[in-house]
């Protein structure tokens, strides 16, 4: 989303008022007025439900506040307390591990599937629709419950398949019976990753349309130059769709860092973060502090740190991508 605001100097006839926000001409004024009328729902919503809450959240993060009594100013105490809180560090680690594992894998599978589907596969529409279906349902409570059942170590289907294939009496008897998934702290994040990968059809869809936008002339030229399919993939396909890869990476990271529903549902709402804090996702801990312990100040500090981390990560990803992401010269200019 590289925004190049190529500002066309506004036509100034006589006296534009209010720092140029009100144009001079009568017709322009009328149009500008209607612009503000049309976008007024968003402006009101932005002020009331975004800007004011952000400012208040910054204020609350400097207070001790339990809703029942008014906030008490404590300065940076909440931030210092978080810094010394081992569960908080654990929540950061859990979220970071999940993000690093699930986002690249999702991109990898999404891209691979898109490339395969792009090889003149028949009934493309049917495949596309059916692969996208899990992505559509992925965030629901039903799917979280389904995976907690699929990953049940004893009665679940996934270990049943593992046992059938490589169990003691399986097709290839290696004696592998499958891990304890959501009950083993070491396997909790891989389990959540598996669940998120089930929805990789969403990224696939974006890549597929990007692939269809790559001019075939480029492949023909590469072929004349003697490039094989693998070389074509790395030297034509990847550079051409790199802005889309960056987009899915950034949105993927932001999404993964905010994992909540599945983590909450799988713990049954009772033992948030169980077993042994291994599923204590960042926002689960935030929720726990805010709505179970009513430490609104502390939770606001957590939310603000999340905001800053997301902001810095996004900027870092844009910055790092300057070398690797290839943008076609954009005719349209701004956005």
Partner 1 sequence: MATQTTSPNVRPATPLIRRGLWASKRRREQIVTIISTMIVAIGLIVILFPLVWMLSTSLKTRAEVAKFPPVWIPAIPQWDNYRAALTGENRFDIYFKNTMIYAGGAALGETLSCALVAYGFARLRAPGKNALFVLVLATMMLPFWVTLIPQYIIFARLGWIDTYLPLLVPKFFGSAYLIFLLRQFYKTLPKDYEEAALIDGAGYFGIWWRIIVPLSLPAVGAVAIMSFMFHYQDFMGPLLYINSQYNYPVSIGLQQFRAPFGGTAFHLLMAASLVTLIPPMVLFFLAQRYFIQGIVVTGVKG
**Smallest distance from partner 1 to CB 11, Å:** 10
Q: Which of 92, 94, 103, 128 binds partner 1 (CB under 8 A)?
A: 128
Q: Which of 248, 259, 278, 321 binds partner 1 (CB under 8 A)?
A: 248
Q: Which of 14, 269, 323, 331 binds partner 1 (CB under 8 A)?
A: 269
The yes or no reply on residue 1 touching partner 1 (CB under 8 A) is yes
**Smallest distance from partner 1 to CB 208, Å:** 8
Q: Which of 99, 102, 106, 156 binds partner 1 (CB under 8 A)?
A: 156
Q: How many CB atoms lie within 10 A of CB 211?
A: 17
The yes or no reply on residue 179 touching partner 1 (CB under 8 A) is no
Q: Is 227 exposed, middle or buried (0-12, 13-18, 19+ CB in 10 A)?
A: middle
Residue numbers 290-319 binding partner 1 by CB under 8 A: 290-291, 296, 299-300, 302-304, 306-307, 310-311, 314
Q: Count of residues binding partner 1 (CB under 8 A)?
A: 106
Give DSSP secondary structure letters for 234-292.
IIIIHHHHHHHHHHHHHHHHHHHHT--HHHHHHTTTTSTT-STTTT--HHHHHHIIIII
Q: Point out which span in 55-63, 93-101, 185-193, 319-327 binds partner 1 (CB under 8 A).
A: 55-63
Alpha-carbon dihedral sign for residues 164, 170, 173, 178: positive
**Smallest distance from partner 1 to CB 299, Å:** 6
Q: Point out which span in 29-37, 98-106, 182-190, 319-327 binds partner 1 (CB under 8 A).
A: 29-37
Q: Which is nearer to partner 1, 42 or 324 (CB)?
A: 42
> Residues with Cβ < 8 Å from 44, sequence gap 6 or more?
none
Residue numbers 185-204 binding partner 1 by CB under 8 A: 198, 201-202
**Smallest distance from partner 1 to CB 93, Å:** 18
Q: Which of 15, 75, 142, 319 binds partner 1 (CB under 8 A)?
A: 142
Annotate 148-188 with three-state secondary structure.
HHHCCCCCCHHHHHHHHHHCCCCCCCCCCCCCCHHHCCCCH
**Smallest distance from partner 1 to CB 53, Å:** 4
Q: Is 15 exposed, middle or buried (0-12, 13-18, 19+ CB in 10 A)?
A: exposed
The yes or no reply on residue 254 touching partner 1 (CB under 8 A) is yes
Backbone phi, psi, residue 36, to 5°: -70, -35
The yes or no reply on residue 32 touching partner 1 (CB under 8 A) is yes
Q: Which is nearer to partner 1, 196 or 248 (CB)?
A: 248
The yes or no reply on residue 213 touching partner 1 (CB under 8 A) is yes
Distances (CA, A) of 274 to 150, 189, 279: 18, 12, 6
Q: Rounded CA gap, 114 and 210, in Å? A: 9
Residue numbers 61-100 binding partner 1 by CB under 8 A: 67
63, β-bridge pairs: 73
Name the packing angle between helices 86-117 and 124-137 (round to 10°): 170
Compute CA 302 distance to the chain's CA centroid, rounded to the nearest angstrom: 18
The yes or no reply on residue 111 touching partner 1 (CB under 8 A) is no
Q: Which is nearer to partner 1, 124 or 276 (CB)?
A: 124
The yes or no reply on residue 46 touching partner 1 (CB under 8 A) is yes
Q: Rounded CA gap, 114 and 214, in Å? A: 13
Q: Which of 82, 101, 236, 244 binds partner 1 (CB under 8 A)?
A: 244
The yes or no reply on residue 35 touching partner 1 (CB under 8 A) is yes
């Amino acid at each position: 989303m590289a925004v190049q605001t190529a500002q066309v100097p506004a036509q100034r006839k006589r006296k534009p008022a209010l720092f140029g926000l009100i144009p001079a001409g009568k017709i322009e004024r009328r149009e500008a007025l209607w612009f503000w009328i049309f976008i007024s729902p968003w402006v009101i919503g932005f002020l009331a439900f975004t800007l004011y809450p952000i400012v208040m959240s910054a204020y609350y993060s400097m207070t001790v506040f339990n809703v029942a009594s008014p906030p008490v100013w404590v300065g940076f105490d909440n931030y210092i307390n978080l810094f010394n809180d081992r569960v908080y560090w654990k929540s950061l680690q859990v979220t970071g591990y999940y993000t690093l594992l699930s986002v690249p894998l999702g991109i990898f599978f999404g891209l691979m599937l898109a490339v395969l589907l792009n090889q003149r596969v028949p009934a493309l529409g049917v495949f596309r629709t059916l692969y996208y279906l899990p992505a559509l349902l992925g965030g629901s409570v039903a799917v979280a419950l389904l995976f907690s059942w699929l990953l049940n170590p004893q009665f679940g289907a996934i270990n049943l398949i593992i046992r059938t294939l490589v169990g003691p009496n399986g097709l290839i008897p290696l004696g592998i019976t499958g891990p304890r998934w959501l009950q083993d702290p070491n396997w909790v994040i891989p389990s959540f990753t598996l669940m998120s990968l089930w929805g990789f059809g969403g990224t696939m869809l974006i890549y597929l349309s990007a692939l269809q936008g790559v001019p075939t002339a480029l492949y023909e030229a590469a072929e004349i130059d003697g490039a094989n399919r693998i070389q074509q993939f790395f030297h034509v396909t990847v550079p051409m769709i790199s802005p889309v890869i960056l987009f899915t990476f950034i949105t993927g990271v932001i999404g993964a860092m905010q994992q909540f529903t599945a983590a909450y549902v799988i713990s049954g709402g009772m033992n948030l973060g169980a077993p042994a804090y291994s599923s204590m996702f960042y926002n689960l801990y935030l929720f726990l502090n805010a709505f179970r312990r009513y430490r609104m100040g502390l939770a606001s500090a957590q939310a603000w740190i999340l905001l800053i981390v997301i902001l810095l990560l996004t900027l870092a990803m844009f910055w790092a991508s300057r070398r690797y992401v290839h943008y076609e010269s954009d005719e349209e200019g701004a956005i």
